[in-house]
Chains A and B, each alone.
Chain A
Amino acid sequence: MPRPTKTRFDTLALHAGQRPDPLTGARATPIYQTASYVFDDSEHAASLFNMERPGHAYSRLSNPTNAVLEERIAALEGGVGGIATASGQAALHLAIATLMGAGAHIVSSNAIYGGSHNILQYTLPRFGIDTTFVSPRDIDAIRAAIRPETRLIFGEVVGNPGGDIMNVPLVAELAHEHGLPLLIDSTFTTPYLFQPFVHGADIIMHSATKFLCGHGTVIGGLLADHGRFDWKASGRFDTLSAPYDGFHGMRFDEESTQAAFLLRARREGLRDFGACMSPTTAFHILQGMETLSLRMRRHVENTRAVVEFLQKSDAVEGISYAELESHPDFSLAQKLLPRGAGAVFCFTLRGGREAGRAFAEGLEVFSHLANVGDAKSLVIHPASTTHYRMSDDDLRAAGINQGTIRLSIGLEDIDDILEDLSRGIHLSKKARA
């Protein structure tokens, strides 16, 4: 597919958005740890705030270190630009708040991160935005859920925790038939494994805390815009097409046909909600992204070895990984994710809650915590931790059993990972007995 640059992925991951610092020659991206920027004069200040010229005025709106990260994710995803936010949750909120207000409606996959489910199910209704949850596998249900007031379709490429694969091209086509944008959470796949814009998505969000940073050191989020959705033609997005009193009557889609969404998200969303990223955080994420393809290849390679190992264990009841023929989305994953179905997956141990707890608590190389996408391998037993208070019925509805274990496979030596898992399985069997 034709691309706007001849430069390849690995080179963009190292260089996009950054040139050696013109004042010092610094090769690495400097951390511009500053809240504000000195104006040349009052006229300069006014023109910056009024979007008459590009530049930095206050780090809640933009920051030179963050700008490198924003440009880099745009280059890797093939979009027009990006916005760095305080967290993945902040990115999701910013996208929604930019596109709609009270009275609007979202159609969301039901196979999504718990935090995303919380804001859609419990928090946004308090502000007048409702969500209908549907299976990402059921295109008819997605179509049926669309209402006149729907403003967004949302899903994850690889669902959490069951590994459901969303048929992004099909859902994108459906969304566009209804004049709606498709927002994809691409956290588990990163642009190395899957590029949603190539498959029709309009906006991408990342929890950059995970694989993009890759080292479990900072919290951050990113949005990227493809710049192709015609907000004016859709007729549903007054926030982008109608005059905005909060910015001198600006029509964002007139100011920038391609980047209207990003303009409003920055000029209103970051300005007013303020969930911006720290420049030090941006630096850490940039460091991680420099090795993204190397790490993702190793993450997937190790994951495949772990899945193969678990398949052979008589302690394992089932594995939900889309590269297995037994997975309902196997064919789709083969088509959409040729480089791998990621490094986060669930499996179920025989022996229920006690076996699961013993397994998670008995591992040494794996860290028992609530995160994914670290260079280090991670484990959690939802039934005894994050979902501890849920009934069996509610657990089942969430796609979780008493013995379900979620693994995020890291970059350690695969032999050490497998030895650790062997120890955990041994302990789970003892707990069963």
Chain B
Amino acid sequence: MTPAKTSAKTQEPAAPYIYTANHAPEDSRDSVVFVHGAAMEHSVWSHQSRYFAYHGYNALAPDLPGHGRSGGRPFEDIGELADWLCGLLAGARGRGFHLVGHSMGALAALETAARFKHDRAPLCSLTLVGFSYPMAVSDALFDAARERPTEAYAMMTQWSHASQLGGEPVPGFWSPGMQFSMMSGSHDGALLADLRACHAYAGGEDAFARVSCPVLFLCGRRDRMAPAKLAAAHAAKNDNAEIVFLEKCGHSIMSESPHGVLRELKRHIGNNAAAKN
């Protein structure tokens, strides 16, 4: 027996793990699907997903294949990841779906929204958090992820926070430590696969053209991983999109501004609930 999370996770079955905050999804509710980023897992959304589960929605926060408690291999292609998410939506309960993605998860959510076929329940909204397109990855980060993953986790953690000193409004937790620990516990090779998927994704323009639901871009003003100006350029081109900047936030926006992210998700998702369509 070992405490190493990676080793333990390789023993997990291939079936995906989906966090629902202990609520069985119901057909009569809208489903909010939270998609995590590179080398992350469902609990990166813990300050938002639980709220929705207790306020009239189905909350579904999967561990993507090869991440967290889900077995399988991580996808190296955003299109494959989107197909997997489309399959998840096809099997999920709910009268309408709201996709919320962060970073790599935002690319996947965008592509999923573009590919999603409405046969049973519509896609009601899309929220792209910490989004940029293209999402180019530097050679230095690729090298680290390949050869020295712990160094890559540290680099990404440092770049993801607007402040290195903490002081976020989550009592008792140190956000850089949380992110570093989460990434350090990721499956072997997950980060490298995720970075390859982000770097190679070239379908953003086409995907935006095919998305018909309202889109919210939620950006940290000081995001160095996914600069807000890139999201702003896409928001400006899309009549059905709005952009919100959260001040003093970097890329780890869900922990740096948990209240701000929750407030904007409540507003955007609430305004676009299936019952209103």
Contact = CB atoms under 8 A, between A and B. Distances in A.
Bound pair: A and B?
A: yes
A74 B177 CA distance: 8
Contacts of A226: 181
Given A53-B51, A83-B172, A233 B163 contact: no
Interface in A152-179: 175-179
Contact of B43 (A71, A243, A256): A256
Contact of A248 (B19, B22, B161, B262): B22
Given A2-B151, A70-B171, A7 B3 contact: no
B178 interface: yes
B176 to A, nearest CB: 4
Interface of B: 1-5, 7-9, 11, 19, 22, 41, 43, 46-47, 50-51, 54-55, 68-69, 148, 150-151, 153-155, 157-158, 161, 163-167, 169-174, 176-182, 184-185, 258-259, 262
Contact of A249 (B5, B22, B163, B166): B22
Interface size class of A (residues with CB under 8 A): 35 or more
Contact of A79 (B5, B51, B153, B177): B177
Contacts of B185: 227-228, 230, 257-258
Given A255-B43, A256-B46, A80 B1 contact: no
A62 to B, nearest CB: 4
A259 interface: yes
B172 A266 contact: yes
Contact of B177 (A81, A175, A257): A81
A3 interface: yes
A80 B174 contact: yes
Interface of A: 1-7, 11-12, 15-19, 47, 50-56, 62-64, 66-68, 70-71, 74-75, 78-83, 175-179, 181, 202, 226-230, 232-235, 243, 248-251, 254-259, 262, 266
B101 to A, nearest CB: 19
A140 to B, nearest CB: 19
A256 B154 CA distance: 20
Counting from the closest, the 10 A-B pairs by CB-CB distance are A233-B8, A4-B180, A2-B154, A179-B1, A227-B181, A62-B171, A74-B174, A4-B176, A81-B173, A52-B51
B46 A232 contact: no
15 contacts: A2-B151, A18-B166, A19-B163, A19-B165, A47-B51, A62-B171, A67-B171, A71-B166, A71-B167, A176-B3, A177-B1, A179-B2, A179-B3, A255-B46, A258-B185
A6 B163 CA distance: 11
Contacts of B55: 52
Contact of A228 (B3, B155, B169, B258): B3
A106 to B, nearest CB: 17
Given A17-B165, A234-B3, 14 more contacts: A5-B161, A47-B54, A50-B54, A52-B50, A54-B170, A54-B259, A78-B177, A80-B174, A81-B173, A227-B182, A230-B5, A258-B178, A258-B181, A262-B173
B181 A71 contact: no
A177 B2 contact: yes
Contacts of B148: 2
Given A177-B2, A257-B182, A258-B182, A17 B43 contact: no
B172 A67 contact: yes
B166 A75 contact: yes
B8 A230 contact: yes
Contact of A16 (B9, B166, B170): B166
**Which one of B41, B153, B174, B181 has the greatest number of beta carbons of chain A within 10 Å?**
B174
Contacts of A232: 8, 69
Contacts of B172: 62, 67, 70-71, 81-83, 262, 266
A74 B165 contact: no
A233 B19 CA distance: 18
B174 A81 contact: yes
Contact of B165 (A16, A83, A178): A16
Contacts of A67: 171-172
Nearest to B248: A19
Contact of B158 (A5, A256, A266): A5
Contacts of A66: 171
A56 B157 CA distance: 26
A70 B169 CA distance: 12
B174 A233 contact: no
A66 B161 CA distance: 22
